[in-house]
Amino acid sequence: MLRTFLFILLSCTFTVAVADDQRAQTKQQIAQAAKEIAELKKQLGKIQQEKSTAEQALKKTETEIGSLEKQVNTLKQQEKDTAQELVALNQKKAKLQDARQQQQKLIAIQARAAFQAGQQEPLRLLLNQQQPEKFSRNLTYYQYIGQARQQQITEFNTTLQQLADIATQITEQQRLLAEQRTSLATQQETLQTLRKQRQQKVAAITQKQRKEAQSLQTRQADQAALNTVLSTIEATLARQAREAKEAERRQQQRLAQQQRIIAEQQRQSASSSNTSQPVKTAKGPMVSTAFTHSGGSFANVRGRLPWPINGRLIAHFGSARGDSRAKWDGVMISSPAGTQVRAIHPGRVVFADWLRGAGLLIIIDHGDGYLSLYGHNQSLLSRPGDRVKVGQAISTVGNTGGRDQAALYFAIRQRGQPIDPIKWCRTQG
């Protein structure tokens, strides 16, 4: 009975110590998570500002492109109008060319008639006149012919000038349109290139923002899951402490009765050795609990602890976890999937379940505020409440929790504070 009481008393003390350790660990992890989340939010703010600047630049470019497109549409309309004008000018040109040909024919006829009549036609009419009235009429007729000839020549010259002017107008219109097309095409190409570059920049920033947001959400979700687990552990330990305290109270009552019986037996016994042996036996469980073992307490075996598996370190304590904010609070050990993971020190399993971000995770309490954590396991061989010995297989190596390759996450905590496993485990090899 005395041995049972001492064991219950020890369990009560252990439960209270574990609860204190869990509270300290929870506060430490929540503070660290809050710091990381704040850094992520700060980074997201910077990215949002950078994205806003890039979007403003893109907005300016696309506005300029829109304005340029409007100019292009206006130019196209001008081209249509000019094309119609060119059609009209060409039609007018064709008519003028026809008129020129007719005028040329008429002038040619008149020229031949004049040549045949000779320069002295009016003089011959005067010298050969028979009737004065007929001479007057013929003279007037020749005057009219001369005036008509001069008018036709003037109109012909005017037609030639109009044709030259129209040809100049057509050439100038075509030149201006070609220049405008070339200028707008160059601007369009430049702005399209600029828009593509800015679109790519906005897309890259958006992708970065999405990745950071997902990282923040994942980190928050992982922290929430860890908080839930730790809260559950703390609540369980608190309940166990209350139960142990109640058991201690009941056991004290039994112990008081038992002590009275033992005292009576001592008076009746002639040998004092028979009374001392149970006390010594009763003290046995106290030195064989999780606080001590053959190698000493956890604190006393620093530098002499075995590693949980044989493998190669692929991530060291304090190294970056792939971004500038989070660092490893333990180590990662590469090893084939299915390799048995062994406890580094005697203790009690306080958690063995799947946890987001850590996969299948097992946590062992070694007493005095020391915990060891083993994550990303393929399978768990121990359950919460199990007591394990040093070297006992507790799980197998895997890649659960989002790992690409099989590896073991191994960490040591002292009252919630991460400590470097390399300083506690013996050198490999």
pLDDT tens digits in sequence order for the chain, 429 residues long:
444 444 444 455 545 555 566 667 666 777 777 787 888 788 888 888 887 888 777 777 767 777 777 777 777 777 788 778 778 878 877 887 787 788 777 777 766 766 665 555 555 555 555 556 665 666 676 677 777 767 878 887 888 888 888 888 888 888 888 888 888 888 878 888 887 888 888 889 888 888 888 888 887 888 787 667 766 776 776 687 688 778 777 767 766 666 666 566 555 543 333 333 333 333 322 222 233 345 678 999 999 999 999 999 999 999 988 755 578 999 999 999 999 999 999 999 999 999 988 999 999 999 999 999 999 999 999 999 999 999 999 999 999 988 889 999 999 999 889 999 999 998 654
Sign for the pseudo-dihedral over CA of 140, 142, 143, 147: positive
Q: What CATH number does residue 339 fall under? A: 2.70.70.10
- The secondary structure element, H or E, covering residue 350 is strand 347-355
Note whether 346 and 403 are same-domain residues: yes
Note whether 222 and 145 are same-domain residues: yes
Note whether 264 and 366 are same-domain residues: no
Domain assignment present for 290: no
Domain assignment present for 49: yes
Other CB atoms within 10 A of residue 334 CB: 15
Q: What CATH number does residue 131 fall under? A: 1.10.287
Domain assignment present for 299: no
User: In a 10 Å sphere around its CB, with 0-12 CB exposed, 13-18 middle and 19+ buried, how is residue 163 labelled?
Assistant: middle
What is the residue range of 63's domain? Answer: 1-275
Note whether 47 and 186 are same-domain residues: yes
Structural domain total, the chain:
2
Note whether 311 and 245 are same-domain residues: no
Note whether 413 and 271 are same-domain residues: no
Note whether 60 and 142 are same-domain residues: yes
Strands 359-367 and 331-334: unpaired
Domain assignment present for 322: yes
